[in-house]
Amino acid sequence: MLAKMFMFEWRYFVRQPSFYVTSLIFFLLTFFATVSENVQIGGGGNVLYNGPFSIAQTLLIMGIFAMFLVVNFVASTATRNDTSRMSELLYSKPINPLSYQLGRFLGSFAVVATVFLFVPLGILFGTLIGGLTGWVDPERLGATDLTHYITSYFYLSLPTLLVLSCFFYAVAIRFRSMMAVYLSAVALFILYIIAGQFASEPEYRTLAALLDPFASNTFREVTRYWTMFNKNNAGMEMTGILLQNRMIWLVVAALIMVFFGGFSSKVRLSKVKTAKKSKKEKQTDFSNLLNNNILFKSAGIQTLAHLIMRTKFEIKQVIFSAPFMVLGALTIFLLVAPLVDPQGMFGTPNWPLTQAMVSLIINSTSLLMMIILAYYSAEIVWRERSSGMGDIVDSMPVHNITFWLSKMIAISLILVVLFIFGTGVTLLNQMLNGYSNFELSQYAIRLGYVNLVPWIMVAVMAFFLQVISPNKYIGMMLFVLYIISTIVLSNFGFSHNMFQFSGSPQVLYSDINGYGQFLTSHSWYMLYWGGVTIILGALGYALWHRGPAQPLKVRIKNVGYYLGLPGKAAIATGLVISISAGSYIHYNTRVLNEFVIQDDREELQAEYEKKYVEFINAEIPTITKTKAIIDIYPEQLKVIAQADIVLKNTSNKAISKFLVSRPSANTQQWNVEITGGIMGEHNEKFNTAWFNFEPALQPGEERNGKLTAVRERRGFSDGNSDVNLVENGTFLNNFEIFPNFGYVPSYQLTDRHKRRQHELEPLKRANKLEDKAFYNESFFGKGVGFIDFEAVVTTSEDQFAIAPGYLQSETVENGRRIFHYKMDAPMVNFYSVMSAKLEQKKEQYKGIDIEVYYHKAHAMNVDRMIESVRDSIDYFTANFGEYQHKQMRIIEFPGYRTFAQSFANTVPYSEQIGFITDLRDPENIDPVYYVTAHEVAHQWWGHQVGAANVQGSAIISESLSQYSALMIMEKKYGPEKIRKFLKYELDRYLRGRSVEFLEEMPLLRSENQQYIHYRKGSVVMMSLKDRLGETRLNAALQAFLNKFKYQSTPYPTTLDLMAFITQNADEQEKAFVSNLFEHISLYDLKTTDVKVTQVEGEEDLFDITLTIEAALNRADGQGQETAIEFTDLVDIGLFSADPENLGADDFVMYLQKHQIKTGTNEIKLQVKGKPKFAGVDPFVKLVDKDGADNIYRL
């Protein structure tokens, strides 16, 4: 019987259109994702489309969507007998439940496995056909290796499909309801999302990898540190954590089927539900029914009564149903999970500000909302017909609008209630965390107006698609295609929100600036889409299914009749609203502002480079003095600026002309005036102009000039909103205000594949380290040097205006507040201008004014920032040299941008990265203290000493600032906290190199690669400090700074830095430094065994023997590794508690360096007390590929 049932299920499904439709969809999705640049599922960057990583990743992503494939085939098999009323008939025969059920299950599973086989086939044919036709860049394809397809399918996809099939089959057998299956699918999907959130944290990664039935987190963990070479060459292996995951879930699947698969259960007959007769049966008043029929067309009150009655009925069917209660519980769970263990910078949570809570609700529920609308729109619209009551209900004297509107109210209420659940959860979380500034208006505006209204519009669209469909499943499929189309079309030039139904530019929120101008643009788009929604709603109820099933073309003929005068008036009104609002949106986004689709922007970038790249190294004048007048008008979102400047030709060649560029898309007027020269006509396409000297500017010659610019935000744009110039919290730098000199490298395309498409030369990220032609050029860019600076900044009377320098005067004239700033020493020609309404806290420390300007609700960490500034000034002054200023100011700016940036004695600091960090738990890393110290360190590394514009320049500014900040962190919090910090940094470095899009460089030659100069730089500098000693390293850095302080001819390079560091080093130390800086070196240390033996006759003395495997690999820029021999000193540690939870020095029982060489090492120790943990390099002083196996638990 098993074979017969297997074949029956197989033949049943392969005759169904759904088998071929789903196979075709899965094939086409992966086929077009392979051959089209505009549709991407897996891979990306430099990963080969047919490489093992890209194939596996695509199969894993499609495996998540396969959940609904399993529901369609396997779960429907389990419920078919009940839905067709065949259960009793079948089980009246002597059927073996095991053979019967197992045969049906395996047959439907075989169908699922066959359909999903079209996923790898789509990739395979996409690469083959794409390669032959030229649709795919040959550089994106490797040699076709069927092994990669086969292993990914059998190791990853097939076990997942089996687990899902077992789970959904068991649910269907147990509950005999597709509703239960749908809910379990949603629940499983939500659990997957939650698991993914926890998998981002190091301490939960292994657990998340083991417990993921889809194996996505498992694959992420296995390939976490894979480089481009690994991703394009290393095949999947069924070992380690992947094998464990697959075995766990296959066992779980087997247990599910054994206990819940119905293999041994007897028939369960369907219960016939009969209504109990009421003791007092109400008599029907037929005269009232007759009156209702007669008065139907004229009695508006009766229509309203019908609407109220139907609405109550629909709400009761939906809101008070068990499935909705489950959905509500899942929504709460979806929100509770990230709130239980909130993560911020370096794992330290932020305060639960209302803006964060609202964003959490929006981000967590967006996908759930789509699923709800897809399912409930079908269930609600088709409820009567699905239950067999359609003809009876349709015969009632009720207008179509009553049916349509009552159901729309019900589905809208679902969304409202789920948002209320979310609001309740986050409010409770705020209270439990001691935060009481609830700001309920944010919940109302951002959840209600900004988020809920568009979802209701999407619900109208979902209803419309159901109405025009012959059945609910086609309607659900159309809705899914609509969702996919909104994503795909945006990649084909239809990214403007006027083409994205219910879409609008993102509404950003900041506690400092509130909603700014973003609600205005949102409101116009809501009007525009509101008009379209009215039209869809009117057509939806006009085409409503009434009576016997009628094809769409028949119903279309009667649209005019069912619309009636009110419906036609509604459509006309919707058209007027949509056209009027659309015209205004077009005027704002395409006339007053620029809107450029991605392809056109890339084409423009390519043309810019082709036209001007020959001038990339052309000499340009250097500004040596600036006296600026900058008028900021916050209410008008306008800046009028001018600067009197002195320019100098610091090169050894005469300059006859140089290129000038517009600073910003929102800059309407800009000009450059220089004595003995004139600016030519503007190139409107590239927003550039040539400035011509007559006569030429000779080497060493100085001339006076003037820069002018007017920047104003006019109307609103569709995306890319100006977040620099805002009503409260304007933050601009000089390159965003005034015209830029010379070729602008940031305009270039960086993706090497796009560059090849546009026939551009390979990108040169940085000048070669040895190229002395660029030693006189600052890393800030050509023509940027040290300047004398003075500025007058005006703003509204109620705001502070802040620029670098010391405040000379502050006055108020004609409702304008005027600030005059002047520097007393040269500073880098890179300065900020800010304006905001903020609170102010001042403190004087050792003759230095420390000031923090902050939003009144963000005072939590102001004192910690001041403390960090004090400690930084003390340590940096003692070890590197005097602080060059008499003040240090920190100014909070809106969280639209999340960074802090160091200008001369001025640090703009985003509200999102420090002011709202919750520092109450002393076990957490203190990112506020660290970030503040890092920015203060830039006053030495970057402002006192610059770097030449060659490879490695960011090491001098960023890596040294990282080291400086970590040293004061270590002084305050101890080496235990630094260990935790360095683990984060090492992890980010290793992950960063896995997504390198060109080539990884050694630290010495880093080409502005943040994962190198920030992340690797932290580990390397602390390792260097450990080897050379703090005093010796700091002395070398101080000597380096003293030699190159304020020097620009030439600027220093990392070669100079290395010379100072290795000046007094022995050969072994030089080899160690070379290994850190000149090579991509990766250690692989592992503690494989630890033996503990009590010393005979000694109660508290133990002999410890550690077995350590050691290896050292050197990698090339693509990540291909070569093993090398090494012998070096490495820390060996013994601990009385888990080093992961180190809180004090008394955890450390022993920590000394021992000679470690390639291969197996045996270390013998004798210590007092029995350790619980032992290991190698426990304090993360080396770049180790897998630090998790360094520590051994006894």
Nearest to 630 by CA among 738, 713, 547, 525: 738
Q: How is residue 326 written in tokens?
A: 């489950």
388-392: which pairs have CB atoms within 8 A and are 24 or more residues apart? 390/545, 391/547, 391/548
Q: What pLDDT is stored for residue 81 in this prediction?
A: 64
Q: How far apart are CA 526 and CA 498, in angstroms?
A: 10
What is the number of other CB atoms lying within 10 angstroms of the CB of residue 440? Answer: 10
What is the number of other CB atoms lying within 10 angstroms of the CB of residue 260? Answer: 16
Q: How is residue 1145 written in tokens?
A: 């020095």
Nearest to 39 by CA among 370, 484, 480, 367: 484
Provide Rg for the chain, Cα atoms. 34
Coil, helix or strand at residue 605: helix
14: alpha, beta or left? (left if phi > 0; alpha if psi -120 to 50)? alpha
Task: Please list the ranges in the chain whose pLDDT falls under 70.
Answer: 38-45, 81-95, 262-302, 387-388, 390-391, 394, 1142-1146
Q: How far apart are CA 74 and CA 106, in angstroms?
A: 9
Q: What are phi and psi of 273, to 5 degrees?
A: -90, 125
Residue 106 host element (H or E)? helix 97-116
Q: What pLDDT is stored for residue 184 in this prediction?
A: 84
Q: How far apart are CA 2 and CA 200, in angstroms?
A: 44
Sign of CA dihedral 339, 344, 348, 354: negative
Q: Is there a contact between 1150 and 1165 (Cβ–Cβ < 8 Å)? A: yes
Neighbouring-strand partners of residue 705 = 645, 674
Neighbouring-strand partners of residue 1127 = 1157
Q: What pLDDT is stored for residue 120 in this prediction?
A: 96
Q: Is there a contact between 857 and 654 (Cβ–Cβ < 8 Å)? A: no
Q: What pLDDT is stored for residue 195 in this prediction?
A: 76
Q: What pLDDT is stored for residue 46 in this prediction?
A: 79
Give 658-715 pLDDT, tens digit per residue: 999 999 989 999 999 999 999 999 999 999 999 999 999 999 999 999 999 999 999 9
Q: Is there a contact between 347 and 918 (Cβ–Cβ < 8 Å)? A: no
Give 1142-1191 pLDDT, tens digit per residue: 665 568 899 999 999 999 999 999 999 999 999 999 999 999 999 889 99
Coil, helix or strand at residue 256: helix
Q: Is there a contact between 441 and 358 (Cβ–Cβ < 8 Å)? A: no
For 1034, residues 6+ apart whose C-beta sits below 8 A from its C-beta are 879, 880
What is the number of other CB atoms lying within 10 angstroms of the CB of residue 719? Answer: 13
Q: What pLDDT is stored for residue 279 in this prediction?
A: 46
Coil, helix or strand at residue 896: coil
Give 144-192 as a DSSP string: --HHHHHHHIIIIIHHHHHHHHHHHHHHHHHH--HHHHHHHHHHHHHHH
Q: What pLDDT is stored for residue 297 in this prediction?
A: 43
Q: What pLDDT is stored for residue 959 in this prediction?
A: 98
Coil, helix or strand at residue 831: coil
Q: How far apart are CA 840 and CA 852, in angstroms?
A: 6
Q: What pLDDT is stored for residue 280 in this prediction?
A: 47
Q: Is there a contact between 101 and 259 (Cβ–Cβ < 8 Å)? A: no
Domains of the chain: 2-177+202-260 (no CATH), 302-588 (no CATH), 1080-1194 (2.60.40)
